[in-house]
A and B are shown apart, each in its own frame.
Chain A
């Protein structure tokens, strides 16, 4: 960290000057400042709104300057940062659970974890693991719904050795049968216990209600499925999808671009890409009918609640207005309306928020959520519904919109807080195909959002008649409500709609009684 030392010495000189100035101010030589101060503290502003801050200009880094293309066509982003002797490398892979046929669910996840865990060709899994551990490299692989990833972090001095191990693993995983059996028993145990906590029940059932039971984003892995996974399934899936034509690579840290590119050329040489159009990512099915859905978990004293419906995609023209709207409604934490009413006003929950997620491939989901003791679930849910109604029908205050816009504009540089974040963001934008001027115009587009627009998008994109309300907890106590507050009840907030009780699925078969 040599550069820090140099910089400090410079700063010490500057500070001596600055202190001199400040002493002048203390002596009352700048009376203008004293007007806005509290008595007895002549040079301290009486309220932070009176503080003056220097301008801060920030220009986001440009992706094009970090981008290279290998001879085989694979894009590589390199962001150099020599401040610590560490290197990060990440490969984003066009692969995901969406590619797995029905009845084989779980293969994507298995390949994702077992590339790293189950050895490589020519070495035993034990020998490979020992080698990686001795080099103190962090290495991992995973596959999610629409994206796969492989990455490592290591000391600069070990880069060549670690890279050799890493690409050998990515290219020629062994899927050792013994390791696969261990993985299978771990997964089966996790399946058996997936009804233990209310949050895992809630997230599974929410996805099912909102995306329809058939969509690949649902957890459909059952005991039968896991028992049916074979080594051949994994090998075939890997062979089909893991090739440089599906990769976007990002590297950051203590490296030189030319050196990294040369190493990558060497390790990807001769690895054939498979042509053809990438498979389409399937759209979700229809969501469940609007209404209240309850799942009974008798032995907890706090209910978990989600309230929401399908939203829009990321490329929707209302994207920026919706983000500002959600910040005001429930996305901004303590400055948002839902948190303010449910938590600070009434003390009914620890967390109470909303999110408006934008899908890349299909519409995202709007969801307001909280957890509250059984008897106050109806009360808190009523407040959330009131806030959704209010933002649709009453203009937001200028101060609220100013606050939200300022936050989103000023926090913008944090997207680029470190070299690995910069490289990862660039790779991700290319992977998901967003226009390269997104960051260049980001702040202007936030600035342009008006109160009228907030109400317009709230009216259009928050639809009370479509809301699905999921409640997981002690149904009996939740339905009974708070005897001191009979005005709030689940039946009342359901209106004319039915309250449906969903039986808890068997954890191993996912069948319901």
Chain B
């Protein structure tokens, strides 16, 4: 796991942490400024896993500064008034001058953006389109950056931790939270308090602009240069109506490129106040000493002037099914995403057990779609309960010779069965057994325990680690039937279909050739005939179409091997047409 990488999903929360018999004994100490410290001392190797969570994520952003929670997380490693500089006064002066120049450059860039909008230019990055003053500003900026290096102690924050044997230092930003963590040797507990309280107390966002570029590279790595990343991002934007979950955690490119240091600082003032933070220690330490160090170091932080504002916007009720079809370099697949419930809703335990009924080697999806019908190569689903909203998504990858549409039908059949028929008692007991065992498994590593306590505390409080398991064990067959009927409806969902784009366009700028996935693998002549059929189908009545289908089916039985692909393709076209008519 690379640092500042992962967007943790709330699935972790959807699956509570201990079996009914298991009780995680947590010592809690709350400072006067509102910061809460959770402590679980455990024997083991001489090490402590330490972390803290800020109850802020992309859900707290607004258009224009999307991605700021994540960018801010990056900046928290760039040092403080003490760490990362040899001369803080000079450093701050340079930072102010850099901001000023960047501000002027931003005006030039806005001009270029306007010219791009009206078609005067085609590429804002082309040096030839820049004004002379713009070029001058860029030169000044570069020169100042070089000069600033004399005062910077490079990555001193990392150097101090690493030189003291700290490992696994990382952080992550999600929709609802931002989390920072590290393992320190058991004798270095005070170092952790020193370093973390210092960066909360005195952060200095140096190297802000190069870090913004790093985040752009991160976006290219995770979203833009992966086969389906860009599509998934747009599917999120399609699925959510009014909710701030509609934009990506990493932010829209225009926003990430434009966020200013000033905006980051005001974000910090609201959301990184101690009353919005929880810290957690798990491992080889004494709680008494930890309490004392927490008072001494974190006690320095000042409570925020105002509590962070609540997220106001509630998802608008969806009225009609939404659909998105993508052609990407990926396996043919389908996803059905239903609006469901937020973390902690009374229906969530039943949805989580329902998810377990569907998943795994002996789950209904794999057994039906993969093993019995052989129309998919994989299938799964799950409840994602976030802090303010949630969804339940099921998905499957079509096997060779089968279409996403066919697979979608099979997924729907299984969801419909759940609405109508009780889940068997042994089947229900099986998934409850698995949950009970997994509650113990999740306590195995100090890191995993810390993560769960912090995440839970940022949602509904850490105590849910001890209370949620019983809720899952109490789910009945009737509960499952009820939630299936309530949430799995057509108008409540968005559908994403991926067809395989066979080959990328050979020349940049040339329009990508759209191969109908139904016709892939056919000769040009066969493709032409199939297209003809496709175009004529709408004019045919149902009886004729069905007769035609029957004839082709019979033909298929006697067809030579090399002719079968063509006939199968024809059948698929007809089936698709018939299904569409219903």
Contact = CB atoms under 8 A, between A and B. Distances in A.
Interface of A: 1, 3-5, 7-8, 11-12, 14-16, 18-19, 22, 41, 43-49, 51, 53-56, 58, 83-86, 117, 126, 129-130, 133-138, 153-155, 179, 181-182, 185-186, 188-189, 193, 195-198, 297-302, 332-335, 339-340, 343-351, 371-373, 402-403, 406-407, 409-411, 413-414, 416-418, 473-474, 476, 483-484
Interface in B157-188: 158-160, 162-167, 183, 185-188
Given A8-B287, A185-B374, A350 B218 contact: yes
B288 A300 contact: no
A415 to B, nearest CB: 9
Nearest to B123: A483
A371 B287 CA distance: 43
Contact of B377 (A130, A189, A297, A350): A189
Contact of B154 (A1, A43, A153, A344): A344
A225 B393 CA distance: 36
B252 interface: no
Interface string B232-274: 0000000000000000000000000000000000000000000
Interface in B184-239: 185-188, 190-191, 194-195, 207, 209-218, 220-221, 224-227
15 contacts: A8-B27, A11-B286, A15-B291, A19-B288, A19-B291, A44-B194, A48-B160, A133-B434, A185-B374, A193-B500, A197-B227, A198-B225, A333-B3, A347-B217, A476-B508
A413 B429 contact: no
The 7 A-B residue pairs with the shortest CB-CB distance in the complex, in nearest-first order: A15-B288, A410-B165, A347-B213, A347-B210, A136-B437, A334-B158, A302-B220
B41 A7 contact: yes
Nearest to A135: B433
Contact of B361 (A133, A181, A339): A133
B318 interface: no
A483 B126 contact: yes
Interface in B438-485: 438, 440-441, 443-445
Contacts of B221: 302, 350-351, 371
B162 A335 contact: yes
Contact of B163 (A136, A181, A373, A406): A406
Interface stretch (B57-65, B292-300, B560-568, B571-579): B292-300
A60 to B, nearest CB: 10
B106 interface: no
Interface string B62-73: 000000000000
Contacts of A413: 45-47, 185
B226 A197 contact: yes
Given A135-B433, A299-B504, A84 B288 contact: no
A488 B40 CA distance: 53
A86 B441 contact: yes
A14 B164 CA distance: 26
B506 A298 contact: yes
A416 B46 CA distance: 10
B400 interface: yes
Contact of A136 (B83, B188, B433): B433
B400 A4 contact: no
A48 B198 CA distance: 10
Nearest to A88: B444
Nearest to A178: B371
Given A350-B214, A351-B2, A410 B164 contact: yes
Nearest to B371: A182
Contact of B191 (A53, A133, A188): A53
Q: Which of A46, A133, A473 has the most CB of B within 10 A?
A: A133
Contacts of B569: none
Contacts of A414: 45, 47, 167, 183
A53 B289 CA distance: 13
Given A301-B220, A411-B165, A11 B504 contact: no
Contacts of B188: 53
B163 A3 contact: no
B370 interface: yes
Interface string B20-61: 001111010000000000001111111100000000000000
B227 A196 contact: yes
B288 A14 contact: yes
B414 interface: no
Contact of A417 (B3, B44, B82): B44
B357 to A, nearest CB: 12
Given A86-B440, A302-B221, A402 B163 contact: yes
A39 to B, nearest CB: 13
A417 B45 contact: yes
A233 B207 CA distance: 59
A8 B330 contact: no
A4 B210 contact: no
B211 A347 contact: yes
B397 interface: yes
Contact of B440 (A14, A15, A85, A406): A85
Contact of A349 (B195, B214, B286, B445): B214
B220 A371 contact: yes
B194 A51 contact: yes
Q: Which of A7, A179, A299 has the most CB of B within 10 A?
A: A299
A393 B6 CA distance: 37
Nearest to B286: A11
A411 B378 CA distance: 40
B219 to A, nearest CB: 9
B46 A347 contact: no
B441 A8 contact: no
A44 B296 contact: yes
Contacts of B45: 58, 413-414, 416-418
A154 B296 CA distance: 44
A5 B25 contact: yes
Contact of B25 (A1, A130, A197, A297): A1
A301 B331 CA distance: 21
Contacts of B149: 345
A5 B41 CA distance: 9
Contact of A340 (B2, B155, B167): B155
Given A196-B329, A413-B185, A417-B47, A345 B210 contact: yes
A327 B507 CA distance: 42
A182 B370 contact: yes
B418 interface: no
Contacts of A301: 220, 224-225
B82 A334 contact: no
B362 interface: yes
Contacts of A51: 190-191, 194
Given A56-B187, A345-B210, A418-B445, A302 B47 contact: no
Contacts of B40: 4
Given A85-B440, A351-B221, A334 B41 contact: no
A51 B191 CA distance: 7
Given A182-B370, A410-B165, A371 B217 contact: yes
Contacts of A18: 286, 288-289, 292
B296 A22 contact: yes
Nearest to A49: B160
Contacts of A130: 362, 430
Contact of A302 (B158, B194, B217): B217
B124 to A, nearest CB: 13
A180 B103 CA distance: 63
Contacts of A182: 370-371, 374
Contacts of A343: 214
B238 to A, nearest CB: 22
A98 B398 CA distance: 33
Nearest to A137: B437
A371 B159 CA distance: 24
Contacts of A55: 187
B426 interface: yes
A54 B187 contact: yes
B194 A45 contact: yes
Q: Which of B127, B159, B225, B297 has the most CB of A within 10 A?
A: B225
